[in-house]
Structure 1
Amino acid sequence: MISSKLSVILGLMLPGAWATSYSQIMEYAGQSFFDGWDFYGSFDNLTNGDAIFVSADQAESLKLAYVNDAGNAIMKVDNISTVAFNQKRNTIRINTKDRYDVGSVWITDMLHVPFGCSVWPAWWSQAPKWPDGGEIDTFEGVNQVTMNQMALHTEPGCTQVSPVQSSPLVNSTDCSFEANSNQGCVVTNPTTQSYGEAFAQAGGGMFVTEFASTGISIWFFPRASIPNSLQGNASSVDTSTLGQPVANWPNGGCNINKFFQPQSLIFDITLCGDFAGNAATFSQTCSGSCYPDYVVGKGSTYDNAYFEVQYVRVYGANGKNTTISAAPASISRPSTASVAGIAAAAALLGVASW
């Protein structure tokens, strides 16, 4: 039997070790998938994207957000309309009505993620009054990059210190929105199956985000590598059985209870904007100019700019309900990208990715 003293030591060593067992408290899936979400319903006045985030009624009438015949949620950029110069293209941004407190895990199983020149998708979370309350980016990329990036954005004082993670690609360690033009503390997933065309060709995959007082951790499993414990209708999850996370931000460098508040979960796809449309970033993987050569004109360039999501499930530690009901509409932060951050990441990876 492990002594109580040794248990304490192990608890300090392992991310999320104080609460590794979680029970399901919410599922967004099937025909009711969109019932628990708010649609932004305005142009992108958050990250300067050349996009209009449509309302729920518009999303339904324009077929930009719907459940397909397979029972999966589709969220997409308008790939049918011809957009005139000085106009923006319709797309989607949604956030959960409820928020989820420390002691939560959220899992999403996706078959396809948006990609292509000018496309900037994200699956992430934040508290209502950004940057107060923090932000967790589980999935984010731009244009034709080949690897997903994960990050935290917080008030000053949160850093990544001594992470226990599988990715060696640590782009930056200061999570403060005031540091490095709000780059955040970024970790890049080293597998190309984590983003874009290769993600889809591999049958998609699963992202697991643990929001624990001992630290924040993110796992990614390509379809062929999803653990048996997460397959099917898993009513519970034990994160201690999932192996090392791809990215980990332990409590030792960032007091989770101090810097993070209950999170609203968000899907969005914007176009160009501060990150994807930055000239230095855009030219890394795409030719021409972001807005005039892609957003303007026919929509067929956006045939791959969509999420296909089988479900989002949320779990509470030890069976506790960590839900904060009727969350106010989520607001966004300034762009997560910066010229300095892009250059630093590209230098780290040694390739033209960011």
Structure 2
Amino acid sequence: MSFTRNLTRLGGILALGVTAAQAAYSIQDTYDPTNFFDGFEFFSQPDPTNGFVKYLTAEEANALSLAGLANEAVYMGVDYTTLNPTGGRNSVRVNSKKTYNQGLIIADIAHQPAAQCGTWPAFWTVGPNWPYDGEIDVIEGVNLDTNTTYTLHTGPSCTFTQGDCNAPGTGNIGCGTSSQDTQTLADGFNAIGGGVFALEWTASAINIFFFPRSSIPQDITSGQPNPSTWGQPQTSFSGDGCDIPSHFRDHSIVFDTTMCGDWAGKVFGSDPTCSSKAATCEEYVAANPDAFKDSYWLVNSVKVYSDNSTMKRDAPFARRFIA
């Protein structure tokens, strides 16, 4: 697939709101190709998950054609030309400048990083004091995974049927569940032209929905989303084992693609396909730049809806310390 990239303009803005169950949602913020990079900032510090990656500044990513616009969508990619890069392969990680408490986030994504040994892409939200302000992983997988894993990370005293979300007490694993749907991640997702993920975050539940491109509800396309009509979510974190408002606060929204590190690197050797290619994850990523040509995001939009009761504020980005 070829792209016509417009990398001279970086624009954007994102948002998230609060809502009660069955609430009528109204649009709070829209991030699309006209303004996305105005509302997101580039994280260019060392990868907190110890990945073999170098996250670029906005200026660096723009100059190297790793962030901009392609096919009328927001493009965020990985370097696929440099052999044996020093310190890790160049990549992009961005987070929303605004932070939010509860609401409905709807992300229309055309392409995810393809399944490839060494990669670890994610779309997630996170609070400023990890893990005590929580993390919600919506799209996440490593190496040749075929379906996303929905995962929460918190401090102590937060348990759902999916498990104990206490990151310090679970070796940073948190609580999660596989989508069991190959259309939700990487090659399976890209083969259907992408789709929509919806995160409904209320005081009583965290629900995650997925809709393939051909099955997006009309109320989403019309801008009047009503989750109560969507049927069962792919996963629902609810119950009296966790006080959601005290464990999930002030989240920014994040897209990134890292390499190897605490998850992809750790399990690289247990994948027979990946382990047959190189002795270590870092060795493979360094020596095979062409493998990462399709390791890019194409985002049509991220829209955030609320019942207008959310208090939001600008906040610095919180580092992510686990998968």
TM > 0.5 fold call: yes
Cα deviation, residue 178, structure 1:
2.2
2:36 aligned with 1:37: no
**Secondary structure at 2:214's aligned position in 1?**
helix
2:229 match: 241
2:230 aligned with 1:229: no
Is 2:265–2:282's contact at 8 Å kept on the other side of the alignment? Answer: no
1:6 match: none
Is the radius of gyration larger for structure 1 or structure 2? 1
1:311 match: 301
**Secondary structure at 1:132's aligned position in 2?**
coil
Is 2:268–2:280's contact at 8 Å kept on the other side of the alignment? Answer: no
Is 1:42–1:55's contact at 8 Å kept on the other side of the alignment? Answer: no
Alpha-carbon distance between aligned partners in 2 of 1:214 and 1:181, rounded to the nearest angstrom: 26
2:49 aligned with 1:47: yes
2:167 match: 177
Cα deviation, residue 31, structure 1:
2.9
2:143 aligned with 1:143: yes
> Match for 1:243: what amino acid?
G
Alpha-carbon distance between aligned partners in 2 of 1:308 and 1:41, rounded to the nearest angstrom: 20
Task: Give deviations 1:25-78, integer Å, cap 9, x for gaps.
Answer: 00110232111011111231x00100011011111111111111x320011111
Task: Give deviations 1:280-300, integer Å, cap 9, x for gaps.
Answer: 665255233343442213421
Is 1:40–1:53's contact at 8 Å kept on the other side of the alignment? Answer: yes
1:194 match: 184
Is 2:20–2:203's contact at 8 Å kept on the other side of the alignment? Answer: no
Alpha-carbon distance between aligned partners in 2 of 1:209 and 1:292, rounded to the nearest angstrom: 33
**Secondary structure at 1:257's aligned position in 2?**
helix
Alpha-carbon distance between aligned partners in 2 of 1:93 and 1:109, rounded to the nearest angstrom: 18
Alpha-carbon distance between aligned partners in 2 of 1:281 and 1:124, rounded to the nearest angstrom: 26
Alpha-carbon distance between aligned partners in 2 of 1:281 and 1:21, rounded to the nearest angstrom: 48
Alpha-carbon distance between aligned partners in 1 of 2:105 and 2:269, rounded to the nearest angstrom: 30
Aligned-residue RMSD, C-alpha: 1.8
1:106 match: 105
Structure 1, unaligned stretches of length 5 or more? 1-15, 162-171, 337-354
1:131 match: 131
Cα deviation, residue 136, structure 1:
0.6
**Secondary structure at 1:18's aligned position in 2?**
coil
Is 1:112–1:204's contact at 8 Å kept on the other side of the alignment? Answer: yes
**Secondary structure at 2:246's aligned position in 1?**
helix
1:11 match: none
1:247-258 matched pairs, under 5 angstroms = 247-258=235-246
Q: 1:27 aligns with which of 25, 30, 35?
A: 30
2:75 aligned with 1:74: yes
2:302 aligned with 1:327: no
Q: 2:61 aligns with which of 44, 59, 62?
A: 59
**Secondary structure at 1:301's aligned position in 2?**
helix
- TM-score if structure 2 supplies the norm length? 0.89
1:78-89 matched pairs, under 5 angstroms = 78-84=79-85, 87-89=87-89
Alpha-carbon distance between aligned partners in 1 of 2:211 and 2:186, rounded to the nearest angstrom: 15
